[in-house]
Amino acid sequence: MNIAEALKEALPETPSARALETFPRVHPNLVVREHMEREGKMYHTAVPGTTLLFRLTPQQYQLALLFDGKRSYAQVAAAFRQKTGIHTDEATVRRFADNLDKGDFWYRTPQEESIILYQKLQQHRHSRVTKRRLVGDLSSIHIVYFDPDRYLTWLHSKFWWVYTGWFALSGAVMFVVMCIILGSRWSEVWNDSVLFYNFTNKNAWDIVEFFVIFILLAVLHESAHGMTCKHFGGESHKMGMFLVYLLPAMFCDTSQVWVYGGRWARILTVASGVLSEIYLCSIISVVWWFTTPGTWIHEIAYKFILSGGIFVVLVNWNPLTKLDGYYLLCEICRFFDLRGQANALLSATLRKYVFRMPATVPPMPLPRRLGLLSYAVVSGAYCYFVLLFFVRLTYKITYHFSPEWAFIPALLLALRIFRSRIQKLTQFVRALYLDKKEFMGIHWRKFAAAAALLALFGLLPVWRDSFKGRFLLQPAARAVLRAQVAGTVAGVFAAEGDHVRAGDLLGRLRNLDVETSAARAQADYRVAVARATQAQLRYTAFAAADQQRRRMEQALRLADDQRRRLSIASPISGTVVTPRLSDLRGSYLTEGTPFAEVEDTSSLRAEIYVPETEIYRFRDIRRIGLHIDGFVGRVPAVSISVSPAAREMEPGLEPPVKYQGMRPPAMYVLTATVYNADGRLSPGMAGTARVFGPRRSLAGLLLEPLVHAIARRIW
């Protein structure tokens, strides 16, 4: 039991009257610096012992200084009017003080702190807020944190020289060297970076190794933030580790640099994390380049490059999420809370101009308005995409264990993640209803007609039903040419890639026994013909001579057939696909040895693999479109057959499953014909096929998965 729980159980029920008699009091050691911002002169203040930053206008700062713990709200309002000449009332002063109190701006004695703590515990005495925050809020779960001020002071005393000009110059040189080294092998480094962050093919040791490297680089990253904040006069009193949707992350509080430092100090503080990892990656890239492949230091250096190189820049300097890139964009554009202002502007604009609700749209120039609205839409879409990615990843992992029940953990995670969004949407719908209630009562017939039209639209079959599946292109016809008789290759008349017609000669064999037998049979046949002719002219023994001629003719026919087999011709029109065919010249081939392969690529066969859960869709196929990996556009295809039994998917179409408890679903093959008149397609190409069925209504498409899921469970 922690001290909060002990106070919750031990403190009495009676509220203290003393807390009600006190008035706000500004902290005697309040840290204040004056800054020129986009809005004009602003006072950045930080309260000792907290991590919050307050931005106050000159009038707000003067008003805050009048709170000394003795003046009442009315007295503060009177003193403010006397000092500035600005009229304000007691209610406005009270609201101002309450807003600052939400961020723990006011100073409290230890006794007042204990009373405030008691009142908070008394307010939530019969609730389970702590448990809900620990279990339900997956967006941020703190694991451990500490005060890093002494550590950062020691670190700055040892590495102060990283802020000198010569170090910046050496860092730029090392960065160029790293770009040259990695650029020479860019394709493999990029592919390996993608695979390094793919957990599908990792075993337990690979995952442990990944997170060890990740944590080491995260410590370097956050230490660079804190040390830079210390360099510009600020302090950091909070550093630690937390989970972002169950994924580990680290943080270091650098809010005081917004008080002590100027604009460039803030930019360097934000950028120092990624710059430190890039500098380390540039040094390690040199180590990786000079070490021998296969050694442990070479492998470790390469893994550090993959972990701290490309994806660090792409993820951390992405301005669409509240990471380093977002704060850099705020400083460059001179916005203190870019996302907050953009979302507020978008919300007010939608309320006022779309839903016709009362809202105040702040006046601003048109380019700035369009920029803020665009950023709000793009950043919001990106954040929802990231959240949905976690839900889809959960569904795909659990699908391998139980395809029928995989939707349950994915649905629970989606409800956890989007719970606050759903609550806000519910509140907005309630506010919209209350605002339009009277209007809807007057024009209820129009709303009823619109609802009927919407329902009718949902029932109309205007949406094309479809499903996806991976496919592999195969030739429509393939012929394997073999040596029908043994012999030595005397000539090769085609090469790889040559287009041949049916009957074209590709090679010729030499076999002295076959050729001698054919020549002897030819000579014997001629002698037999001559004898048969003489016997016919003399009318003597003609029957025996004619019988001998027929036997020689049969022998000649067999010998000529053996000799024709020495010539290898293509039975189909197509393309020769056997590599280095000319290397066979002079070699001896036994009977049945393959000589060459010819494939007809004028039309290809697409084998589309579809899981058994989609087999019911095969009954009515209207259209098939193929999206080949690496190609732009859709290739049409025509369905011809469906396999009667399940088959295993071709290797390479999907990542292999390494876990014994995960079983891929049974796959059925839909075979489709693809016409390749322009010759740009080749056998072996893979991609994703979209198979289109009949048109369905929107209601049917939305309800079908639910109906099928319930039907499978009931059965």
Region 647-666: mean pLDDT is 61
Where residue 493 falls among pLDDT bands split at 50, 70, 90? Answer: confident
Region 264-291: mean pLDDT is 87
Percent above pLDDT 90 for the chain: 1
Q: For residues 285 and 177, what is the distance between their CA atoms, to the nearest angstrom?
A: 9
Counting DSSP H helices and E strands in the chain, the numbers are: 24, 18
Q: Quick one: three-class SS letters along 205-260?
A: HHHHHHHHHHHHHHHHHHHHHHHHHHHCCCCCCCEEEEEECCEEEEEECCCCHHHH
Where residue 575 falls among pLDDT bands split at 50, 70, 90? Answer: confident
Residue tagged 């950062």 (tokens): 152
Q: What is the pLDDT of residues 292-347, one digit of tens each?
A: 887 888 888 888 888 776 767 777 888 888 888 888 888 888 887 788 888 888 88
Where residue 228 falls among pLDDT bands split at 50, 70, 90? Answer: very high
Residue 280: exposed, middle, or buried by beta-carbon count in 10 A (0-12, 13-18, 19+)? Answer: buried
**Weakest mean pLDDT among 135-139, 214-218, 699-703:** 135-139
Average per-residue pLDDT in the chain? Answer: 78
Per-residue confidence (pLDDT) for residue 111, from 0 to 100: 55
Region 7-22: mean pLDDT is 43
Percent above pLDDT 70 for the chain: 84
Per-residue confidence (pLDDT) for residue 128, from 0 to 100: 41
Residue tagged 């079983």 (tokens): 663
Question: Amino acid identity of 583?
Answer: D
Region 51-61: mean pLDDT is 80
If phi > 0 it is left, if psi is from -120 to 50 it is alpha, else beta; for residue 356 that is left
**Weakest mean pLDDT among 206-210, 319-323, 331-335, 659-663:** 659-663
Q: For residues 461 and 543, what is the distance between their CA atoms, to the nearest angstrom?
A: 85
Cα 48 to Cα 4, 28, 414, distances in angstroms:
22, 10, 39
Query: What sign has the CA pseudo-torsion 373, 378, 382, 385?
Result: positive
**Weakest mean pLDDT among 251-255, 307-311, 422-426:** 307-311
3-state secondary structure of 495: coil
Region 578-598: mean pLDDT is 86
**Weakest mean pLDDT among 47-51, 85-89, 212-216, 435-439:** 47-51
Q: For residues 344 and 337, what is the distance between their CA atoms, to the nearest angstrom?
A: 11
Per-residue confidence (pLDDT) for residue 400, from 0 to 100: 64
Q: For residues 31 and 20, what is the distance between their CA atoms, to the nearest angstrom?
A: 28
Cα 29 to Cα 26, 68, 105, 237, 685, distances in angstroms:
9, 13, 12, 16, 70
Per-residue confidence (pLDDT) for residue 664, from 0 to 100: 61
Per-residue confidence (pLDDT) for residue 440, from 0 to 100: 77
Per-residue confidence (pLDDT) for residue 646, from 0 to 100: 73
Per-residue confidence (pLDDT) for residue 655, from 0 to 100: 59
Is it the case that residue 709 has pLDDT exceeding 70?
A: no
Is it the case that residue 20 has pLDDT exceeding 50?
A: no
Instruction: Specify whether the CB–CB gap between 380 and 343 falls below 8 A.
Output: yes
Q: What is the pLDDT of residues 426-466, one digit of tens each?
A: 888 888 888 878 877 887 888 788 888 888 887 888 777 77
Is it the case that residue 703 has pLDDT exceeding 80?
A: no
Residue 491: exposed, middle, or buried by beta-carbon count in 10 A (0-12, 13-18, 19+)? Answer: middle
Residue 305 makes CB contacts below 8 A (sequence gap 6+) with 182, 189, 281, 284, 285, 288
Q: Please report, for the chain, the start and end positions of each structural domain, with discontinuous segments joined by +.
A: 3-132, 141-336, 466-473+601-714, 478-595
User: In angstroms, how far is the first alpha carbon of the chain from the final one?
Assistant: 48
Give Cα 422 distance to the centre of its chain. 24
Residue 65 makes CB contacts below 8 A (sequence gap 6+) with 26
Is it the case that residue 129 has pLDDT exceeding 60?
A: no
Instruction: Specify whether the CB–CB gap between 295 and 204 falls below 8 A.
Output: no
pTM score = 0.59
Instruction: Specify whether the CB–CB gap between 456 and 469 falls below 8 A.
Output: no
Is it the case that residue 17 has pLDDT exceeding 50?
A: no
Q: Which two tokens stand for residue 229?
A: 């904040």
Per-residue confidence (pLDDT) for residue 554, from 0 to 100: 86
Q: Can you spell out the DSSP letters for 539-594?
A: TSSHHHHHHHHHHHHHHHHHHHHHHHTTEEE-SS-EEE--TTGGGGTT-EE-TT-E
Is it the case that residue 639 has pLDDT exceeding 80?
A: no
Q: For residues 256 and 387, what is the distance between their CA atoms, to the nearest angstrom?
A: 31
Where residue 244 falls among pLDDT bands split at 50, 70, 90? Answer: low
Is it the case that residue 660 has pLDDT exceeding 50?
A: no
Q: For residues 105 and 49, what is the distance between their CA atoms, to the nearest angstrom?
A: 11
Q: For residues 483 and 491, what is the distance between their CA atoms, to the nearest angstrom?
A: 13
Is it the case that residue 125 has pLDDT exceeding 70?
A: no
Using alpha carbons, select from 632, 623, 567 the residue that is nearest to residue 596.
Answer: 567
Instruction: Specify whether the CB–CB gap between 213 and 277 falls below 8 A.
Output: no
Region 71-87: mean pLDDT is 84
Q: CA torsion, points 421, 426, 432, 434, in degrees to nearest 10?
A: -150
Is it the case that residue 230 has pLDDT exceeding 50?
A: yes
Where residue 621 falls among pLDDT bands split at 50, 70, 90? Answer: confident
Q: For residues 612 and 669, what is the distance between their CA atoms, to the nearest angstrom?
A: 10
Per-residue confidence (pLDDT) for residue 9, from 0 to 100: 40
Per-residue confidence (pLDDT) for residue 132, from 0 to 100: 40
Q: Quick one: three-class SS letters along 423-456?
A: HHHHHHHHHHHHHHHHHHHHCHHHHHHHHHHHHH
Q: Which two tokens stand for residue 423?
A: 């609550």
Is it the case that residue 201 has pLDDT exceeding 70?
A: no
Q: Which two tokens stand for residue 3?
A: 């001290």
Per-residue confidence (pLDDT) for residue 2, from 0 to 100: 38
CATH number for region 466-473+601-714: 2.40.30.170
Residue tagged 């009193």 (tokens): 237
Per-residue confidence (pLDDT) for residue 338, from 0 to 100: 84
Q: Are strands 623-628 and 594-611 parallel, antiparallel or unpaired?
A: unpaired
Cα 422 to Cα 128, 357, 416, 419, 542, distances in angstroms:
21, 20, 10, 5, 108
**Weakest mean pLDDT among 297-301, 422-426, 605-609, 612-616:** 612-616
By 3-state DSSP, what share of the chain in percent is helix, strand and coil, each rounded to 5? 55, 20, 30
Q: Which two tokens stand for residue 336?
A: 């203190």
Which helix (H) or strand (E) segment holds residue 40: the answer is: strand 40-46
Per-residue confidence (pLDDT) for residue 472, from 0 to 100: 86
Region 374-390: mean pLDDT is 85
